[in-house]
Structure 1
Amino acid sequence: MQTFRDFWSLARPFWSSSERRPALLLLSGTILMNLCLVGVNLLYNFWNLHFYNALQALDYDAFLVGGVQFLFLQMGLATFTVAAFHFQQKLTLRWRRWATENTLQLWLQRHRYLKLQLTAPETDNPDQRIADDINLFITTSLKLSLGLMTALISLFSFLHILWQASSLVRIPFAGEELVIPGLLVWAALLYSILGTGGAFWLGRTLPRLNFIQQRREADFRFAMMRLRENAEAVAQYRGENEEHVRFSRRLGAALDNFWSLVKQQKVVLGYSTFYMRSAMIIPMFIMAPQFFAGAFPLGRLTQLSAAFGEVHEAMAYLVKVFPEVAEWKSIVDRLIGFQQRLQSVGGESGVHLEHTTDGLEVKDLSLWLPDGTPLLKNFDLRLQPGDSVLIRAPSGFGKSTLIRALTGIWSHASGVARYDLGSTLTLAQKPYLPLGSLRDMLWYPSAPHPEEDPHLLEVMQQCGLSHLSNQLDSELDWSQTLSIGEQQRCAFARALLLRPHVLFLDESSSALDEESERRCYTQLKRDLPESIIISVGHRVSLDNMHGRTLDLQHRQQPESRLAYS
């Protein structure tokens, strides 16, 4: 039952959203087409009766009429199948777009995408959850639920035929003929219960194996993506052999689990195939004595055998789709875990940020590690527009963590920070360079302004990027095209273009030579005279480029802060 509650918590937001009306219309169309398909199957069942009776009676005219009826039935079957597919896919498209957009919004809000990496590394491959699992959840949920609905409708549609036909079965008992009401129905029910129970018992480990398989496949793909992102570094280390070993290890883990999954699926597949196929012969053996005694014609036997098959298949629906049910459960578990982790990460407290245009003030700021080890206690800072401060400390003293806390992306913190929240920018040690044109990349995260290209070219020249001035419209993977020094100069150009009121620089000039560093900082001070600049760095040369220097080493012992700067 927990799985169904989790399913509904994932599905309910869509069915209560503004998309509900068109979604219900598409769902109604899908259900209607499936009802029509059940109706065609019902007509086909009666067609069996008349067609095979015509064959037994050697009635050629009735045979020809049956042939024409068969063609119309197949035309109806094809039409309703295509229509049901159309409505179902349209519904899937709407649901997937809505669910993906909303999950993306939740993932991106409040820096959850970063907080998951910093505080919840056990949440593996969020990209797969959003791109693949949502799609699989929707398609599999619709397929299974519509299949179950069709099975129930088929069950009640053919149940009446089978119940009435049970009166034809007479069992010799104590010198009399015993008639058991609904014998064929009870036989189908008993056979289905035994088969369903057996399938669930044999496949009880499939959900867990499917869950593990999805995770290991995603880990393997992610490892290859990481190599592509860091291709140059791996080549410089000549780490191809080690990467191959790592790939092989992840692939081996995925394939080992896959083989365990296959072995379990073989058992379930063999059982379900034998179980489903053997059902068609049961009514024939039950009714054979009366048929050979001439109690009813061949058409009746064929009709009842088909009706028994429909009733049995409807009752045994879960056996037929058990592998898909197992996969569906693993998908639900993965998505609900992801949603819950997003909610918990988004709800974590941190530094309370308040908006003000009157400088920057930090009061009673305390930082600690996820395990509770303190980093910084009762930190206060007050800066006026135009002030600049350099935060210095050896590696491991929480310098970068301080920047994270001030920008609201480190949850293990308390205190208050007031500054212009609507005009702030952070330059990281390794800048983010999005895919797209050079113009788009330099203006990020703002929209590009082609009409300001003359100003853009001037800024590029000031930051030592004039050699790229003829590539503004080139769309490349700039993180792979530019050196780390060029990437950092691009970040400084971005700051000069966006002109933030508060600028955080986290080791953002570490790859620049001292002359380039001095030129970039000088340009910042010249073009952004009213901006507050807070830098993190180690170089002594940075002292002359800031009005104040703050040494964290003198505030607290470093032993508790190693590896968290």
Structure 2
Amino acid sequence: MTTTSQQPPASTAEGLHTGQHRHFLRKVWALAKPFWYSEDKWWARGLLLAVIALSLGGVYLSVWFNHWYNSFYTALQDKDAAGFWLQIGYFCPVAAVAILSAVYRYYLRNILELRWRRWLTHVYFERWLNQRAYYLLEVRGGMAQGQGTDNPDQRIAEDIDRFTTLTLQLGLGLLSSVVSLCSFTLILWNLSGALEFTLAGYDIVIPGYMVWVALLYAAIGTWIAHRLGRRLVPLNFEQQRREADMRFALVRVREHAESIALYGGEDVERGALRQHFQKIWDNTWQVMRTQKRLIGFTAGYSQVASVFPMIVAAPRYFNGSLALGGLMQINSAFGHVQDAMSWFIDAYASLAQWRSVVDRLTSFTDRLDALEQEAQARSVQQDEQARSVQQAASAAVVSVSPASIMASQAAAVKAADTGGCGAGCGCVDSEETCCSGGCGACDSSGDGNSGSESDADTNSGCGVGCSCMASDEDTPESIAVADTAAGLQVRNLQIALPDGQTVLQLAQGQVAAGQHTLISAPSGYGKSLLLRVMSGIWPWWQGNLSLPGAMMFLPQRPYIPLGSLRQALAYPAVTSRYSDADYLQVLQQCRLSQYQSRLDEVQGWSHSLSPGEQQRLAIARALLQQPQWLVLDEATSALDEDTEHHLYSLLRQQLPDTTLISVAHRPTVAAFHQQHWQLGAMSS
């Protein structure tokens, strides 16, 4: 049977939440339930019913074989050849049915596991990539200990597979054990008879004594197994984490092979990898020691169980009250009862692994739930405050586009105030006059020389080229994002780290459409954070921010997906959007003509292209997509000045309707921009 992968609807994906549950089994149900009520529910329920029916059929066949043992061994004892061959004749077709039942029980169960895994994997794909949760998890994990979720890729790729497999395996195994226990307990009760003995002068009769012996035997074994194996749950959890950490370290070596080779860092990497493996070694030894004790007990438990019913029933056989067939039937029935009662013992290692897998998946789900709740809270707060801004300044309301760069934060905002600047004002270095009315921190010529604080109180305001820092008295009054054709406007913007520490404040700034702007500041000042806020991926900010509709961002290190060079150029659009002539033209323009014949070659382009070639490829993407606004974050830092000059000239010529916003350190880039935001000067 061949099936294709389908993405689940958002409604079913949103129904998977575990954070509101504390009890383990409730979390398991919250994790498992959505699949059985999804768009795939009829397939899922039908397959489950088929597998259950085959499992119950297997129990029925076991009961039939138990009765067959009596007739078969009785024929052997009586040396009844005709009866012997008759029983063989009965056995063959029933055995064939049992084989077919086992095969299709396995096959249908695996189909169900695969469909469940597909559905659950797509749900986690959606939730992990939704609202940039994958990015926020990494940011929080890197900035605050205990805030992140280790190895989400391993949880999606492996833990989901283990969860579906073990849940069905353990669930169906438990069901079969319960049905088998009920069926064979009745058989064993009738076969074992009553145990009669005298104790302290009293005659004691225990009906169905073999059942009570099996129950006591299994209860003692279960208690001992739990005592010996309970440490496996946290050890398995830790083992999966450490294995994933080492895989991640190995992948990093592959990704940064050239840099490591140039640094000659093999010894450092070798030491780091050995440390990762040492952690696996240490934890594995603990798992092995625990498993050794558990396996030693369960092996002995099973060996004793194989002869224990024979020992108990032997007196009745030797005194002639029990035939050989009855003895074998008792042995078989006792084995099934004991196996059913010992399900917990036999499945203990799998239960420990299942518990650790569920813990990893539910903790991952809880983290995604928390991020979604934070995003919803921010959206509600921004909506409320944006409405307040609208009501206070209805004449300056900016309409909201459905294509907002931050879809979860759609709101209206008034245009940025271009009134007076406070004492913390910083001015741009541009062709236009900045702060034409005078600014407290700079003179009217816009050369960046500081004025007096008293001047700030009297001067009238800043022009469109000025961007100011917030003073202590000028705090953010609202949070809002708008999508407007008026350009980019900032007022009272505060940007913080996830721990709440403010790293950048901007009181006022504006970039009109067509007004190319250069942003510079000392390293580590927060330039990249400002661009992340503009792109909508950094939620830790407050203030008034008005954004243009179509913005494209080019990071310093371009992302190059796996696949062909054509796919790398078109990313994130589909390749069919552009013609072959378009691809060949931008490669020629960006001085990558040597790759024109390799458009459809599939390889790891992120490794084969140099950093400078990767940045040129990113510029080629921008030429293909022709955005209205293009934001470059050190996007030409790996290029020589001549190539950098060529590419900026190319952007200005080929994209005349595109507004450029650049973060760069080289002064040569300033020639392609009309205004200059110097964040470092603003802070002083």
Shift of 1:240: 1.2
Mapped contact 1:56–1:298 kept (Cα < 8 A):
yes
Alignment check: 8 A CA contact 1:502 1:533 kept: yes
Q: Which residue of 2 aligns with 1:139?
A: 165
Q: What's 1:69 paired with? A: 90
* Counterpart contact for 2:194–2:207, Cα < 8 Å: no
Counterpart check, 1:377 vs 2:514: no
Is the contact between residue 194 and residue 209 of structure 2 (CA under 8 Å) also seen in structure 1?
A: no
User: What residue is the counterpart of 1:150 in the other structure?
Assistant: 176
Distance between the aligned counterparts of 2:562 and 2:635, measured in 1?
20
Q: Does 1:537 align with 2:664?
A: yes
Amino acid of the structure 2 residue aligned with 1:387: Q
Alpha-carbon displacement from aligned partner over 1:212-244 (angstroms, at most 9, x marks no partner): 111111111111111111111111011112111
1:202 — aligned with what?
228
Identity %: 41
CA separation of 1:85/1:353 partners in 2, compared to 1, >3 Å: closer, same or farther? farther
Distance 1:352 1:276 in 2: 68
Q: 1:170 touches 1:290 (CA, 8 Å); kept in 2? A: no
Q: Tell me the equivalent position of 2:99.
A: 78
Matches for 1:208-247 after TM superposition, within 5 Å: 208-247=234-273
1:405 to 533, 553, 556: 533
Q: Secondary structure at the match of 1:132?
A: helix
Equivalent positions of 1:150-189 (< 5 A) are: 150-172=176-198, 178-189=204-215
Q: Is the 8 A contact 2:167 2:354 kept in 1?
A: yes
Q: Is the 8 A contact 1:166 1:180 kept in 2?
A: no
Work out the CA distance in 1 between the residues paired with 2:594 and 2:577: 19
Q: Measure, in 1, the Cα distance between the counterparts of 2:507 and 2:370.
A: 27
- Distance in 1, Cα, partners of 2:201 & 2:309: 24
- Residue of structure 1 in register with 2:492 after alignment: 364
For 1:481 and 1:21, how far apart are their aligned partners in 2? 48
The aligned counterpart of 2:289 is 263
| 1:401, distance to aligned residue in structure 2 (A) | 1.0
* Alpha-carbon distance in 1 for matches of 2:40, 2:129: 22
In structure 2, the residue matched to 1:560 is none
After TM superposition, give the deviation of residue 416 of structure 1 in Å. Answer: 4.1
Report the counterpart of residue 275 of structure 2 in structure 1. Answer: 249
SS of residue paired to 2:320: coil
CA-to-partner distance for each residue in 1:267-322, whole Å, 9 max, x for gaps?
00111111122123333232222221111211111111111111111111010010
More contact order relative to length (CA 8 Å, sep ≥ 6): 1
- Contact 1:427/1:506, CA 8 A, preserved across alignment: yes
| Aligned-partner residue type, residue 494 of structure 2 | S
TM-score when normalising by structure 1: 0.95
State the Cα distance separating 1:415 from its structure 2 match.
2.9
Aligned to 1:286: 312
| Segment drifting more, 296-305 vs 374-383 | 374-383
The answer to whether the Cα contact below 8 Å between 1:383 and 1:532 also exists between their aligned partners in 2 is: no
Cα distance in 2, alignment partners of residues 233 and 291 from structure 1: 79
Q: Structure 2: how far apart are the matches of 1:160 and 1:56?
A: 25
* CA distance in structure 1 between the aligned counterparts of 2:62 and 2:534, rounded to whole angstroms: 67
More divergent stretch after superposition (158-167 vs 278-287): 278-287
3-state SS of 1:120 partner: helix
Q: How does 1:476-495 map to 2 (within 5 A)?
A: 476-495=603-622
1:299 and 2:325 equivalent? yes
CA distance in 2, matches of 1:420, 1:142: 51
Aligned to 2:137: 116
Aligned with residue 60 of structure 1, among 78, 81, 88: 81
**Which stretch of the first structure deviates more once superposed, 202-211 or 340-349?**
340-349
Cα distance, 1:378 vs structure 2: 4.5
Name stretches of at least 5 consecutive residues in structure 1 with no aligned partner.
558-565
Cα distance in 1 for partners of 2:480, 2:139 equals 19
TM (norm. structure 2) is 0.78
Q: CA deviation at 1:388?
A: 1.7
Q: Distance in 2 between matches of 1:51 and 1:103?
A: 55
**Matches of 2:639 and 2:351 in 1, distance apart?**
56
In 1: Cα distance, 2:642 partner to 2:657 partner = 24
CA distance in 2, matches of 1:555, 1:378: 9
Per-residue Cα deviation, 1:88-139 (whole angstroms, up to 9, x for no partner): 0111111111111111111111111111111124422111111111111100
Q: Is 1:325 matched with 2:452?
A: no
Aligned partner (choices 102, 114, 123) of residue 93 of structure 1: 114
1:111 is paired with a residue whose SS is: helix
Judged with a 3 Å threshold, the aligned counterparts in structure 2 of structure 1 residues 174 and 59 are, in CA distance, closer, same or farther, namely farther
Higher helix fraction: Structure 1 or Structure 2?
1
Change (3 A) 1:328 1:463: same
Alignment pair present for 1:452 and 2:478: no
Aligned to 2:68, the other structure's residue is in SS state: helix
Q: Are 2:195 and 2:208, in contact at CA under 8 Å, matched by a contact in 1?
A: no
Q: Which runs of 5+ in 2 are unaligned?
A: 1-21, 143-147, 379-478
In 2, Cα distance between the equivalents of 1:24 and 1:298?
A: 45
Q: Which residue of 1 aligns with 2:634?
A: 507
What one-letter code is carried by the residue in structure 1 that aligns with 2:613? Answer: E
Return the offset for 1:495: 0.5
Distance 2:307 2:245 in 1: 47
1:516 is aligned to 2:643: yes
The structure-2 alpha-carbon separation of the partners of 1:7 and 1:352, relative to structure 1 and needing over 3 Å to count, comes to: farther
Kindly provide the CA deviation profile for residues 325-376 of structure 1, in whole angstroms up to 9, marking residues without a partner as x: 0001111111111111122234434675433334223333211122322112
Maintained 8 Å contact 1:169/1:287: no
Alignment root-mean-square deviation, CA: 1.8
Of 336, 341, 345 in structure 1, the residue corresponding to residue 371 of structure 2 is: 345
**What residue number does 1:562 align with?**
none
Provide the C-alpha distance between the structure 2 equivalents of 1:130 and 1:354, rounded to a whole number of angstroms: 35
Counterpart Cα distance in 2 of 1:342 and 1:130: 13
Residues matched between the structures, number:
556
> 1:58: how far off?
1.3
Which residue among 531, 547, 562 is the counterpart of 2:674?
547
Q: Within 5 Å, which residues of 2 pair with 1:306-317? A: 306-317=332-343
Q: Do the aligned residues in 1 keep the contact of 2:120 with 2:160 (CA within 8 Å)?
A: yes
Task: Describe the SS at the equivalent of 1:180.
Answer: strand
Q: For structure 1, which segment, 351-360 or 4-13, has the greater mean C-alpha deviation from structure 2 after superposition?
A: 351-360
Higher mean displacement: 358-367 or 436-445: 358-367
Q: Do the aligned partners of 2:493 and 2:507 also contact (CA within 8 Å) in 1? A: yes
AA matched with 1:38: V
Aligned residue for 1:202, secondary structure, equals helix
1:172 Cα deviation from its structure 2 partner: 4.8
Instruction: Give the match for residue 469 of structure 1.
Output: 596
CA contact (8 A) 1:49 1:299 kept: yes
Counterpart of 1:105 in structure 2 is 126
Code of the residue aligned with 2:593 in structure 1: it is S
Q: Residue type matched to 2:50 in 1?
A: G
1:49 is matched with which residue? 70
Q: Give yes or no for contact 1:27–1:91 (8 Å, CA) kept in 2.
A: yes
CA distance in 2: counterparts of 1:380 and 1:278, whole angstroms? 82
How far, CA to CA, are the matches of 2:333 and 2:480 in structure 1?
Answer: 68
Following the alignment from structure 2 to structure 1, what is the Cα–Cα distance between the partners of residues 108 and 483? 49
Letter in 2 for 1:70: F
Whole-Å separation in 1 of the counterparts to 2:82 and 2:508: 99
